[in-house]
C-alpha cells in the first residue's frame, strides 16, 4: 500500500488480499477465481506445461474446499489460456521478460504484457494483452519489433 500511495494511486476501490496459503479464491461478479503463483505443482516439458495445467486443475477441482470456476496464474512468462472440462485457465504475461531464468528455463523473452479482461455476471467476454510502455531487448541487445523505441 505504501508504494501505491507514493505513486499517487487512489486506493479507495482497491482491496489487497495476502494469501495465507498457496492459493486464494477471489469472487468477481459471481465468478469464483482461484489465484496462484503458478509454481505450485504445475510441471511440464517441451515449453509451456499444457498437460501440467490440466492435471493440476483436475486434482484441484475436488481437493480445494472452495468452489471455483477459473484458474489464474503467472510464473511462466507467457500470455496463454485454455479450457479444461468447462473451466477456464489464464496464464498472465509478465511485466518483464529479459532475465536469464526466463531465457534458460522457459526460452521466453516475449514482449512485457499483462492481461485485461471484461467480465459480466455470465462470463468473460473479452480477454486482451496489454503491452506495457517500455521496450525490451533481446539477447542481441536490439529493441524488438513493436516495442517502444
Calculate the dihedral angle through the C-alpha atoms of 22, 4, 124, 90, rounding to the nearest 10 degrees.
Answer: -40
| Cell digits of residue 85 | 472440462
User: Can you read off the three cell numbers belonging to residue 10?
Assistant: 487512489
pLDDT in tens, the chain (149 residues): 677 777 787 777 777 778 889 999 999 999 999 999 988 888 877 778 888 899 999 999 999 999 999 999 988 878 899 999 989 999 988 877 667 777 777 666 667 888 999 999 999 999 999 888 655 566 666 665 554 44
Amino acid at each position: 500500500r505504501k508504494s501505491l500511495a507514493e505513486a499517487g494511486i487512489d486506493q479507495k476501490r482497491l482491496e489487497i488480499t495476502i494469501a495465507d496459503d498457496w492459493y486464494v479464491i477471489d469472487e468477481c461478479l459471481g465468478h469464483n477465481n482461484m489465484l496462484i503463483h503458478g509454481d505450485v505443482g504445475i510441471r511440464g516439458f517441451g515449453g509451456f506445461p499444457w498437460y501440467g495445467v490440466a492435471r493440476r486443475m483436475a486434482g484441484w477441482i475436488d481437493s480445494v474446499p472452495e468452489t471455483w470456476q477459473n484458474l489464474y496464474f503467472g510464473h511462466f512468462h507467457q500470455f496463454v489460456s485454455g479450457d479444461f472440462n468447462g473451466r477456464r485457465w489464464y496464464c498472465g504475461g509478465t511485466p518483464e521478460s529479459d532475465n536469464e531464468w526466463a531465457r534458460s528455463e522457459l526460452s521466453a523473452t516475449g514482449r512485457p504484457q499483462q492481461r485485461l479482461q471484461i467480465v459480466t455476471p455470465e462470463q468473460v467476454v473479452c480477454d486482451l494483452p496489454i503491452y506495457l510502455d517500455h521496450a525490451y531487448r533481446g539477447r542481441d541487445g536490439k529493441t524488438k519489433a513493436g516495442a517502444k523505441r
